Structure 1
Amino acid sequence: MRALDRKLLRDLGRMKGQAAAIAMVIAAGVMTLMISVTSLDALRDTQRAFYEDHHFADVFADLKRAPEGMAERLREIPGVNRLETRVKAPVRLEVPGFDDPVRGLLVSIPDGRQPLLNQLYLREGSLPESGRADQAVVSDAFAGAHGLRAGDTISAIIDGRLTRLRITGVALSPEFIYQAAPTDLLPDYRRYAIVWMNRRALARAYGMDGAFNNVLVGLQAGAREAEVIDALEQALGRYGLVMANGRYEQQSHRFLHEELQQLRAQAAILPTIFMLVSAFLLNVVMSRIIRTQREQLAVLKAFGYTNLEVATHYGMLTALIVLAGWAVGVVLGAWWAGWLIELYAEYFRFPDMSLRVQPWVAALALAVAGGAALLGTARAVWQAVARPPAEAMRPEPPASFRRGWFERAVLGRLLDAPGRIIFRNLSRHPVKASLSVAGIGMSAGLLMMGAYQLDAVDHMIDTQYRLVQRMDVHLVFSNPTPARVEAELRNEPGVLAVETYRSVPVRLVSGHRRYSTSILGMDPEPQLRLLLDRQRRPQHLPSEGLLLTDYLATDLGLAVGDPVVVEILEGHRRTLTIPLAGVVDEPIGVGAYMAREALNRAMREGPAVSGAWLLSEREREAALFDRLGRLPGVASIGMMSDAERDIREYMGDTIQMFALVFVLLACSIAFAVVYNNARITFAERARELATLEVLGYSRLQTGWILLGEIGALTLVAVPVGWLVGAGFCLAINQVYSTDLFRVPLVIAPRAYAFAAAGVLVASLLAGLMMLRRLGRLDKVSVLKAVE
C-alpha cells in the first residue's frame, strides 16, 4: 500500500464522525433526487405507453345533440386523423349492500368492438355482447371499492327507469386514469363510477338514435390543436356545443400533468438545497484538514510528490465520502420511490405501474453529488497544491490582535476570563464564525421548511372547508333550473339554509393567454360560499364586473380594472368584455365569480340556477342526503364532510408524508451540521484548552469555554436560520402552487420554534459529545510541537 493511501485511511479514521455527518447530508440529497426522478420517470413512461397503446384522444368536445351525419363533415377538418362520436350521460347507480347514493357517467362504446380512441384495457371479463342493453363494463377503481366482479349486477336509473345491468368486464381507460367526478377535486371510488355500454342501447335509452353528444379527435402529426378546436367550435356551435378543448383541459390528464410538474420541481429544488449544504460542509472540513496538515503537505512535496498526486489524495478523500453518501441515498431513495409508486397506483389507475430504477438516474445522482463536492473542495485543494514547500514548512504566522475599546470598556467589566476568551475567539476570526453561523442557519432553515409543509397543508384545508365552503351539502342540477327551486329546497326537513348559484362554462381571454373554466353566478352577499380577500375578509360581489381567484388573474396577466374577454360556451355563445372588479384568495381550485343576476342577463335568460348549497341539521343529514339523491333533475349530490375527508387523506398520503420524511432528514442534517461545527471547533481549540488546564483552569472552566463558543454560534444562527427558512418556504410554496391547489405561504410560530429547538437540541447533544472528548484529552500529546 502506498504511503498516501495509508495516510488517506488514517485521515478518514480520525474524521469518521465528520465524514459520516457529511455523507448523511449527501445521502439526503441523493435520496430526494432518486425519489423525485424515479417516480417522475415511472409515471411519465407509464402514461406515455398507456396513451399510445390505447389511442388516447387529443381533442374532446361536448355538445347537446348533433346528427350522426355531422361526423363525416368533422372528419374533413384539416389535421384530423381519427374521429369518433359517442353518447355520454350522467347516471345514478345502486350497488347491493351500499346505501349511499352513487353517481356515475355512462359512456358509449361501439357494439361488439373496441372504440377507435380511448380504448379500454380489460382487467377481467369482456365487452358487452352486441345488441345487449342489460350489459356493461365498469371502471376498475369502482369495482375494486365494492368488490364487484364480472357476472355481478348493479342497478342504474337510466332516463328515469330502473335498469339492472350485468357486469361483463372490469376495465381501465386512458380517459379516466384519474377518476374523479366533474365537480370533485379528488376521487371517491365508492360513490362515483364510469360505466361503458353499447352505443345503440345507450342512444335508444336517451333518445339519441342517429345522434351524438360527445366527440373524440385524434390529431395528425404536426397538426395544430388550436386550429382543430376552432374548426370544431364553428361546425358544432349551432348544435349546443358546451366545450371543445385539448388534453390539458381534460380532467384526468390535467391532474396527472400537475403531479408530474410537482415532481419536476421537487427534483430541481430539494436536492439542490441538500447538495449546497454538503458542498458547504466539505469546504469547511477540507479547508480545516489542509490547514492543520500544512507541514505534512510541505514534506510530501519536498520528497517529490507532485501537485497532481497531492490533489488526487485529497480528491480521493472527498470521493470516498461522496460515494458512501451516494450509495446510502440510492438504496433509500429506491425504497421510498417504490413506496411512492404504490401510493400513486391508488390515485392514478394504470394497467401496470412498477418501479424501475434506471442506471442513468443513479448516475445523475452521482454526478450531482460529485459536482457539489467539487464545488465545495476545489478552492481548498488548489490552495494546498499551489503553496511552495518552503513557505508551507514555516508555521503559519500568528494573527495580530489587540484589545479594542469595546473589549476594554464593556467586556472587561461584564465578562469573566472564560467569557472574554469566548468573545475573542469569535470576534478575531469573523470569517470562521460567519461560516459556522451560516451552516447552522441553513440546517435551521431546513427544519423550518419541513415544519412549514406540515402546517401549511392543514391551514389550506381549514381555510377552504371552514371559511370558504361553509355548506354541508352541494347539489348539481342536470340542467339550468328556475330559481324557485331555492324555496322548495328550503322547505325540505333538515335544511337550515339554502343558496343557489348559476354555473356557466366560459373561456377567459387576455391577449394571447386563454383559460377555460366556469363562472359562478352567486348571491351578492353569500353566506355559505364565501369569497375572501388576501386578508381572509369576506368580499361582496359587485353588481357588475368579474372576480377571479388571484392565481388565475396572475396566470392571465390581469390586474384589477383590466378588461377580460369572456367567451360563453353555452346557450347563445356570446363573447363579452367584462372588467376585472377584484381578486379572491382561495387555496383550492381556480374560478371566476359574478353576481347571479348579472350572469343571467349575460346569458339572456330568466332567473335560472345550476345548483345549490345547503346547510343542514347534523342529526337529519343522512335522511336528507338520501331524499335529495332521489329527486328528479339532480345530477349529483356531495357531502362537504366527505370531500374534506378525502382531501385530508390525499394530502396526508402525499405532501404531508413527504414533508414528514423531509423533517426526519432535516433533523439528521441539523445534527450533522452542528456536530461537524462542534468537532472542528474542538479540534482547533484543543491545544488552547489543554494549555489553559496546564495553567490551572478547571475542567469546568475549559468546558464552559468550549460549550460557550458552540452555544453562542448557535444562538446567533437561529435568527439567520429563520430568514433562510423563510426563503426555503417560499421556494417550496412555488413547487406546490398549481391550478388544483396552492399551499399558502403562512409560516406558523411553531415552525420558528421547531427550527430553533431543533438546532439548540442538536447543539446541546454535540456539546456533550465534545465534553466527553475533552475529558479524554491527552494534554501531553496535544501540547507536543508538530515536527
Structure 2
Amino acid sequence: MLDRMLLRDLWSLRSQAITVAMLIGTGVTVLVGSVGTYTSLLATQAGYYGASRFADVWAELERAPRSVLARLSEIPGIGVIETRVVKDVRVDWPRSDLSVAGRIVSLPDGGQPVLNRITLQRGRWIDAQRNEVLVSAGFADTWSVEPGDPIRIILNGRLQTFTVAGVAYSPEYVYATRPGNPLPDDRTFAVLWASENAVAPAFDMQGAFNAVAATLAPGAPEREVLAAADAVLDRYGGRGAYGRRDQPSHRFLSDELAEQRTLAITVPAIFFGIAAFLLNVVLGRLVEAQREQIAALKSLGFPSLPIAAHYLKFVLALCGLGCAGGVAMGLWYGHGMLNSYRPFFRFPELAYELPVFVPLLAIGLSVVAAATGALGALRRVLALRPAEAMRPAAPPAFSHILLGRRWRPAVKMALRGLAGRPVRSLLSVLGLAMAVPMIVMGLFWWDALRFMVAVQFDGIDRADAVVSFTDPVAGRAAREIAAIPGVLAVEGQRVAPVRLRAGTAEYRLGLTGLAAGAQLRVPREQDLRPVPVTSVGLTLTRGLAERLGVSVGSQVTVEALDGKRPVAVVPVAALADEILGYNAYIEISALSRLMREDDHITQAAVRVDPNEAYSVWRSLTQRPRVAAVAVKSVWLQVFDEKIAGLVIVSALVLTLFGIIIAAAVVYNSARVALQERAWELASLRVLGFTRGEASGILLAELGVQMLLALPVGLVLAKQMVKGLLALRDNESFQIPAVISDQTYAIAALAVVAAGLGSAFLVRRRVDQLDLVAVLKTRE
C-alpha cells in the first residue's frame, strides 16, 4: 500500500521532484566531472613522472668541471644524479614576425638521460655525430615542424643550422614558458635537445656542466640536501638548488591540481546543500499535507518506522533520478574539462579515466545530503500523535500589521499570509535567495578576467614590450633602444635571481629593480593606486608576503643567486596586488648596490608608436645581445587563449547550471506554495473570486518573497565568491573577487525571469483547479 502511495506522491509532485532531482544531478555532474578531471591529471602526472624518472632536485650554476660530480654524489640523501649543459638561446625562425626564444638542453652522447627522460612523439632519436635536435611538441605542433626540417639556432652568438630529428615531450616542460613570460606561448618559445657534442663546445663547456638534476633517497630531508648541494656548488657560481615544489612546470601543474581539487569540493557541496534545503521544504510540506493520512495509519496500528521509511524512499527515488543523469553528464563535463587542459599541459598521453569510486562517492554524498534534508520531516513523522494529527492543523495566528488602504486586497492577503507563517516564509525567501549566487558564481569569472587584464596589462605592465638581454648590460643599452625610430619611451630594469627568507619560509624569484618614478612598470594596490618602489625596502606582492609570513616593516633576508652572491637583510616597505605570479621590487640603484655591481640592466620596457611597431620588433630581434622580445599584444592573446580559455570552460558550465538551479528553486517554491494554498484558493473561487483574483493572491505572495530574496541573494553571492576564492592556493595567478553591476543585474533578471515563468505556470494550474476535488481534500 505504501509503495503505491509512493508512486502516487511522485507523480502528483513530479514538478517538484524533477527540480530537486535536477539540483542533485548538477551536484553529481560537477563532482564526477571535477574529481574525474583531477584524478585523471593526477594519475597522468604520477605515471609520466615515474616512467620518465622525473628528478626531485635541480641546481644551476656558471660552470663546474665534471670532477665535481663525485662530490655531489657523496651528499647524504642524494640518489641518482646527472649533469648537463642548459642554455637559453635564440631561434632564427623566419616564419615568425617576433623573436623566438629557445632553451637548449644537452643529452648524453650514448642516448637517453638517466633522469627526466625524453618521450618521442614522432621522428627518431638524434645522431650524436650530427647537428640534430629534438624539438618540443608544443612548438612543433604550432608551426607544423616535422622531422627532417632545418632549424637555425644562435648558440653563444654564432648561428648554427640543425636538423630536426624528432618531436618530443619532457617532464620538465609539461608547462613550458619562455624567460620573462609566465604564460606558455608555443609560438615564441621552443625547448631543444641536442647531443652534448653539439652543445658543450659552443659554450666552452667541454668536460664541464652548468646544470644538475638528481633524485632523493627515500626519507632524505630535502632542505638538508639542498643546503649541502649549495655548499658544493657555491664556488662554481651556483644559483641555489631547489626541489620539485619550485620547479616552474611542476609548480604550475600543482597549482592547477590544487585549484581543481578545491572546485571539486566546494561547488558540489553548495549544490548538495541547496538540494538538501529544498528536500527539507518539499518533504516537510508533504508530511504536513498528509498528516491526517499518517495519523489514520498510526491509529490502525501501523508502526511509525515503515511510514518514515516510505518518505525516505521518496527521497531516495529523487536521488536515484538525479544520480543517473548526473553521472552521465559528469562524464561529458569531465571530458570537456580535460580537453581544455591540453594546450596547457604537454603530456604524451592525457586520457580521461574515471575511477569507480568517483560515481560511488557522488551517489553516496547525494544520498547523505538528501537524507540530511529529510531528517526534519522524518522526525515529525515519528513524533506525530494520531489523536492530534487527525484534526486539521490549527490556522496560523495572524497579528495586526500596518497595511495602507490603497494596497490591493490580494497584496494585503499575501502579506498577512507571509506574516502568519514567519518561519516558512523565511525559508522560502532563503531558498529563492540561493538562486542568485548560483548564477553569479558562473558569471563573475568574466568580470574577474576583464579586471585581471585591465590591472595587469593596462595598469601594471604599461609597456608595449619587454626586451630581454642575453647578459646584464650597461644602462646605455636602454638609450640605444630609445634611438630606434618608432620608440616612444624606454625604461631599463634589472632582474636578479634571489632567494627570499623569513624565518623558516623561503621563496625563489627574480627581484626586479625599477627606476624611481617608473611609468612602464607600476606596482599597484587592488584599488589601482600606485605603490611606490623605494630604495630603503622591498615592495612585495601580497601573495608573496603571505607565503613568507611577513608584513610591512618585517625583515626579509635576500640571498643573491648569481654574481658575487651577497646576502642582505632588507625591510618590507610596501605591499602590492598583482595578478600573475609572485613578485618583489626595489629601486634599481639600490638593487645594484645590493648585488655589489655597477648599474646594469637585464631588460628594458618599451613603448612604441603603433604604426611602427612591426619595424621596431624586427630591429630589436636583429640585435645580437637581445635574447627575446615579449610583446604585450601577444601576451594578451596568449592570456585569452590559455588562462581565459581554461577558466571560461568552467564558467560556462557553472553559469548554465546556475540558471537551471535558479529556475528549479523558483519554480519549486511556487509549486509548493500552490500545493499548500490550493484549498484556500478553491474556497475563494467558490466565494466568487475570479481566477485572476484568486491566483493574484498566490502570485503576490511569490512576488513579495522574490523582492525580499533578491537583495539577500546579492549579498550571499558576494560572500560565496569571496569564500570560493579564499580557498584557492595558486601562485601562478590570482583571481580577484570582482563582480560587476552587470553580473548582478543579469543574475537578478534571470531569477525574475524564472519567477515570471513560474508565475505563468502556476496561474495555469490555478485556472485548472477542480474546485470540488480540492475542497474535498480537507475532509
| Fold match by TM threshold 0.5 | yes
1:664 aligns with 2:656: yes
Task: Give the Cα separation in 1 of the matches to 2:600 and 2:740.
Answer: 43
Deviations, residues 507-543 of structure 1 (Å, cap 9, x unaligned)? 1111111111121011111111111123311232223
Q: Report how far residue 96 of structure 1 moved.
A: 5.7
1:274 aligns with 2:266: no
Letter in 2 for 1:517: L
Q: Report how far residue 727 of structure 1 moved.
A: 1.3
Q: Is the 8 A contact 2:448 2:739 kept in 1?
A: yes
Q: Given the superposition, is the C-alpha separation of residues 96 and 182 from structure 1 closer, same or farther in structure 2, using an over 3 Å criterion?
A: closer
Alignment of 1:712-727 (within 5 A): 712-727=704-719
Q: Report how far residue 784 of structure 1 moved.
A: 1.6
Alignment of 1:468-487 (within 5 A): 468-487=460-479
Task: Give the Cα separation in 1 of the matches to 2:702 and 2:483.
Answer: 70
Task: Give the Cα separation in 1 of the matches to 2:138 and 2:649.
Answer: 23
Q: Is the 8 A contact 1:457 1:656 kept in 2?
A: no
Q: Report how far residue 99 of structure 1 moved.
A: 4.3
Structure 1: state its 5+ residue gaps: none
Task: Give the Cα separation in 1 of the matches to 2:713 and 2:482.
Answer: 55
3-state secondary structure, aligned to 1:195: strand
Q: Report how far residue 303 of structure 1 moved.
A: 3.5
User: 1:60 is matched with which residue?
Assistant: 58
1:375 aligns with 2:367: no
User: 2:282 is matched with which residue?
Assistant: 285
Task: Give the Cα separation in 2 of the matches to 1:336 and 1:416.
Answer: 49
2:753 to 744, 747, 761: 761
User: 1:29 is matched with which residue?
Assistant: 27
Task: Give the Cα separation in 2 of the matches to 1:675 and 1:745.
Answer: 30
Q: Report how far residue 417 of structure 1 moved.
A: 2.6
Q: Is the 8 A contact 1:44 1:260 kept in 2?
A: yes
User: 1:17 is matched with which residue?
Assistant: 15
Q: Is the 8 A contact 2:287 2:381 kept in 1?
A: yes
User: 2:116 is matched with which residue?
Assistant: 118
Q: Report how far residue 702 of structure 1 moved.
A: 1.4
Q: Report how far residue 95 of structure 1 moved.
A: 3.7
Task: Give the Cα separation in 2 of the matches to 1:352 and 1:767.
Answer: 51
Task: Give the Cα separation in 1 of the matches to 2:425 and 2:575.
Answer: 47
User: 1:179 is matched with which residue?
Assistant: 176
Bigger mean CA deviation after superposition, 699-708 or 366-375 = 699-708
User: 2:252 is matched with which residue?
Assistant: 255
Letter in 2 for 1:733: L
3-state secondary structure, aligned to 1:526: coil
Q: Report how far residue 108 of structure 1 moved.
A: 0.2
Task: Give the Cα separation in 1 of the matches to 2:240 and 2:633.
Answer: 30
User: 1:578 is matched with which residue?
Assistant: 570
Alignment of 1:607-756 (within 5 A): 607-736=599-728, 738-756=730-748
1:224 aligns with 2:211: no
Deviations, residues 110-154 of structure 1 (Å, cap 9, x unaligned)? 00310011000111222212332x111111111111112222221
Q: Is the 8 A contact 1:266 1:735 kept in 2?
A: no
3-state secondary structure, aligned to 1:374: helix
Q: Is the 8 A contact 1:243 1:505 kept in 2?
A: no
Task: Give the Cα separation in 2 of the matches to 1:710 and 1:119.
Answer: 65
User: 1:47 is matched with which residue?
Assistant: 45
Deviations, residues 318-338 of structure 1 (Å, cap 9, x unaligned)? 111111111111111111111
Letter in 1 for 2:264: A
Task: Give the Cα separation in 1 of the matches to 2:313 and 2:390.
Answer: 24
Bigger mean CA deviation after superposition, 389-398 or 175-184 = 389-398
Q: Is the 8 A contact 1:526 1:540 kept in 2?
A: no
Q: Report how far residue 619 of structure 1 moved.
A: 1.8
User: 2:107 is matched with which residue?
Assistant: 109
Deviations, residues 597-630 of structure 1 (Å, cap 9, x unaligned)? 1110111111111110100111211121122112
Task: Give the Cα separation in 1 of the matches to 2:210 and 2:103.
Answer: 13
Deviations, residues 581-600 of structure 1 (Å, cap 9, x unaligned)? 11111122211100001110
Between the aligned residues of both structures, percent identity stands at 39
Bigger mean CA deviation after superposition, 512-521 or 531-540 = 531-540
Task: Give the Cα separation in 2 of the matches to 1:453 and 1:728.
Answer: 13
3-state secondary structure, aligned to 1:51: helix
Alignment of 1:308-387 (within 5 A): 308-387=305-384
Q: TM-score, normalised by structure 1?
A: 0.97
User: 1:603 is matched with which residue?
Assistant: 595
3-state secondary structure, aligned to 1:186: coil
3-state secondary structure, aligned to 1:346: coil
Q: TM-score, normalised by structure 2?
A: 0.98
1:778 aligns with 2:762: no
Structure 2: state its 5+ residue gaps: none
User: 2:516 is matched with which residue?
Assistant: 524
1:560 aligns with 2:557: no
Task: Give the Cα separation in 2 of the matches to 1:423 and 1:129.
Answer: 85
Task: Give the Cα separation in 1 of the matches to 2:730 and 2:61.
Answer: 29
Q: Is the 8 A contact 1:112 1:127 kept in 2?
A: no
3-state secondary structure, aligned to 2:343: helix
3-state secondary structure, aligned to 2:278: helix
Q: Report how far residue 716 of structure 1 moved.
A: 0.3
Alignment of 1:134-145 (within 5 A): 134-145=131-142
Q: Report how far residue 493 of structure 1 moved.
A: 1.4
Task: Give the Cα separation in 1 of the matches to 2:225 and 2:643.
Answer: 38
Task: Give the Cα separation in 2 of the matches to 1:392 and 1:757.
Answer: 42
3-state secondary structure, aligned to 1:411: coil
Q: Report how far residue 340 of structure 1 moved.
A: 1.5
Task: Give the Cα separation in 2 of the matches to 1:83 and 1:401.
Answer: 82
Q: Is the 8 A contact 2:411 2:697 kept in 1?
A: yes
Task: Give the Cα separation in 1 of the matches to 2:210 and 2:191.
Answer: 17
Q: Is the 8 A contact 1:62 1:213 kept in 2?
A: yes
Letter in 2 for 1:479: D
Task: Give the Cα separation in 2 of the matches to 1:340 and 1:784.
Answer: 54
Task: Give the Cα separation in 2 of the matches to 1:484 and 1:325.
Answer: 68
Q: Report how far residue 737 of structure 1 moved.
A: 5.3
Q: Report how far residue 776 of structure 1 moved.
A: 0.6
Letter in 2 for 1:348: F
Bigger mean CA deviation after superposition, 521-530 or 564-573 = 564-573
Q: Report how far residue 252 of structure 1 moved.
A: 0.5
Q: Report how far residue 785 of structure 1 moved.
A: 4.9
Alignment size in residue pairs: 779
Task: Give the Cα separation in 2 of the matches to 1:144 and 1:587.
Answer: 29
Task: Give the Cα separation in 2 of the matches to 1:653 and 1:584.
Answer: 27
Q: Report how far residue 243 of structure 1 moved.
A: 3.1
3-state secondary structure, aligned to 1:347: coil
Q: Given the superposition, is the C-alpha separation of residues 364 and 785 from structure 1 closer, same or farther in structure 2, using an over 3 Å criterion?
A: closer
Letter in 2 for 1:265: T
User: 1:199 is matched with which residue?
Assistant: 196
Task: Give the Cα separation in 1 of the matches to 2:662 and 2:186.
Answer: 42
Letter in 1 for 2:717: G
Task: Give the Cα separation in 1 of the matches to 2:537 and 2:97.
Answer: 44
Task: Give the Cα separation in 2 of the matches to 1:448 and 1:163.
Answer: 55
Task: Give the Cα separation in 2 of the matches to 1:100 and 1:553.
Answer: 35
Root-mean-square deviation (CA, aligned residues, Å) is 1.4
Q: Given the superposition, is the C-alpha separation of residues 338 and 785 from structure 1 closer, same or farther in structure 2, using an over 3 Å criterion?
A: closer
User: 1:74 is matched with which residue?
Assistant: 72
Letter in 1 for 2:50: E
Deviations, residues 275-294 of structure 1 (Å, cap 9, x unaligned)? 10000000000001111011
Task: Give the Cα separation in 1 of the matches to 2:599 and 2:397.
Answer: 86
Letter in 2 for 1:505: P
Deviations, residues 74-93 of structure 1 (Å, cap 9, x unaligned)? 11111111111110111222
Task: Give the Cα separation in 2 of the matches to 1:534 and 1:652.
Answer: 20
Letter in 2 for 1:72: A
User: 2:500 is matched with which residue?
Assistant: 508
Letter in 2 for 1:282: L
Alignment of 1:238-249 (within 5 A): 238-249=235-246
1:301 aligns with 2:298: yes
